[in-house]
Structure 1
Amino acid sequence: MSDFVLVERPRPHVALVTLNRPERMNAMAFDVMVPFRDTLAGLSRDNDVRVVVVTGAGRGFCSGADQESPGRIPGIDGLTVSTIALRSMELLDDVVRTLRRMHQPVIAAVNGPAIGGGLCLALAADIRLAASGDAYFRAAGINNGLTASELGLSYLLPRAIGSSRAFEIMLSGRDVDAAEAERVGLVSRAVEPDGLLDACYELAERIVGFSRPGVELTKRMLWAGLDAGSLEAHMDHEGLGQLFVRLTTRNFEEATRARRQGRPPRFAD
């Protein structure tokens, strides 16, 4: 798609997507974000891919808005400055939405700074692992005379770590290192930098071993639970998802046989 976005297949059914603009700490220039969005959308439709890992090249995960060389926004000919601003925000919002809507679980391998919009990209992933000593997180808008709320951050961060911590981090503009991020639940784990991708691949391979509809519906239910207006409504959705997998696959029977035979299950669906 672009030299700024690399795609590899490091393990069967696992795709690695790398933001590849290390000289700018993988900042969110539009000539990076457009192919990144389109690459994610393509992988979501790739039925051979069961898990997607996202990381950054070089020392950074993503340093947020590129204030020096933002690139050209597509489709803005004839528009005024105000409308161009709306189109640019809409495009970046769409990147976050695309990450969240992918069929496959997305693991963010946060190898370095995740600043501003980079923090938002990490939060839009389903699972986050961070490189100890190298990764840190910052809600940078407040430091730049803007709001810290952008690209879903004021929605996603409180749901990840709780409201009080989110308020403090977003209003102070301070850095959160990998150790603190693990402690407060911003990431699942902090691991040694040299082992970051391998840890993500091991987790991905475990997920690949489960049934496709089971994994996809679990992801949907988890996100739906964050949006749910009531426990009762959400439990209805969970029940329908569970019934769908139970009645349309033979996964439960296979899992039962596998346990009896002392072997891993082999899910056909």
Structure 2
Amino acid sequence: MSEYDYKHLLVVEDGPILRVTLNRPEIHNALNDRLVDELNHMFTLLHSRADLRVVVLAANGRNFCAGLDLTERTGALADTGTAIVEQRRISRIVLSMRSCPQPIVALVQGAASGGGMALALAADVRVATSAARMNAAFIRVGLSACDIGVSYFLPRMVGASVASEYMLTGRFIDAERGRHLGLFARVVEPDQLSAEGESFVRDMLHATPLGLRLTKEALKHAIDAPGLEAVIALEDRNQVLCAQSSDFAEGIAAFREKRVPRYDTVPGVAHRG
């Protein structure tokens, strides 16, 4: 990670945790071309980093992300071919977020609009401040509200009727409604946001590295599974794989001894003391 020259992202490796912060506060962390490329690079690289187990996605400033940086857009792109390439550069971010093996905890403050909403929804857990709000802003600037995975994530999380309410209007989902709908795991005051996020990270790190990765993977597939039998087959496969790991014995021992487990940082590598 450190070899890449990030300009608009702050990327810090903290043991098994990767802390990623959107860092364009002067323009509400809007997504310009450089930030899109940096997010794509970072989330793609995570696929090969088995030593990193959890990602915390945060943002500097008052707002999480205002969506696409419209100061860099003057209207329609020159041709359809150019437009689809540009569109897929942006949508590839959420595909990488969902396929990377690490669970992502998003800390959302202020507005998460358009692409910012997509980033928040693509995370695995969202913690928000009481001032947080999200909207499918695309529909308010001449586009469809179905963009960057929002039309996939939102109806699966809140149901088709509620998704229609917000996507057809571009209205904001405020923090309290978001908590009620299950979009936000917790809603806290701004000075508690980081600490609340850390509580989820600590609990995730109590899982074995393999168990955590396979749980995210199975959840992703279970959402669209054709039936119960397919999900159970996947669950059975995961449990057999986890039970064969040395970390399974360590997890049981830690539970019995009432201590923090000491798992392998990288699956297949011996304990490091």
What's 1:27 paired with?
30
Shift in Å, 1:70: 4.9
What's 1:67 paired with?
70
- How far, CA to CA, are the matches of 1:127 and 1:82 in structure 2? 35
Percentage of pairs with the same residue: 37
What's 1:253 paired with?
249
State the number of aligned residues: 259
Residue 84 to residue 243, structure 1, CA distance change in 2 (3 Å) = same
What's 1:221 paired with?
218
What's 2:169 paired with?
172
108, 111, 127: which one pairs with 2:109? Answer: 111
188, 197, 205: which one pairs with 2:185? Answer: 188
Any idea what the Cα deviations from partners look like across 1:236-263, whole Å, max 9, x if unmatched? 11111111111x2134433333333333
- How far, CA to CA, are the matches of 1:70 and 1:107 in structure 2? 30
Shift in Å, 1:189: 0.8
Question: Where do 5+ consecutive residues of structure 2 fail to align?
Answer: 268-273
Tell me whether 1:205 sits opposite 2:202 in the alignment: yes
What's 1:2 paired with?
6
- How far, CA to CA, are the matches of 1:258 and 1:67 in structure 2? 52
TM-score, normalisation: structure 1: 0.90
Question: Where do 5+ consecutive residues of structure 1 fail to align?
Answer: 72-78
- How far, CA to CA, are the matches of 1:175 and 1:80 in structure 2? 32
Shift in Å, 1:80: 5.0
Q: How does 1:100-139 map to 2 (within 5 A)?
A: 100-133=98-131, 135-139=132-136
What's 1:74 paired with?
none
Residue 200 to residue 180, structure 1, CA distance change in 2 (3 Å) = same
Tell me whether 1:98 sits opposite 2:96 in the alignment: yes
What's 2:20 paired with?
17
47, 56, 81: which one pairs with 1:53? Answer: 56
Residue 255 to residue 15, structure 1, CA distance change in 2 (3 Å) = closer
Residue 261 to residue 142, structure 1, CA distance change in 2 (3 Å) = same
Any idea what the Cα deviations from partners look like across 1:87-134, whole Å, max 9, x if unmatched? 11110111111111111111111122110111111111111111112x
SS of alignment partner, residue 172 of structure 1: coil
TM-score, normalisation: structure 2: 0.88
What's 2:262 paired with?
266
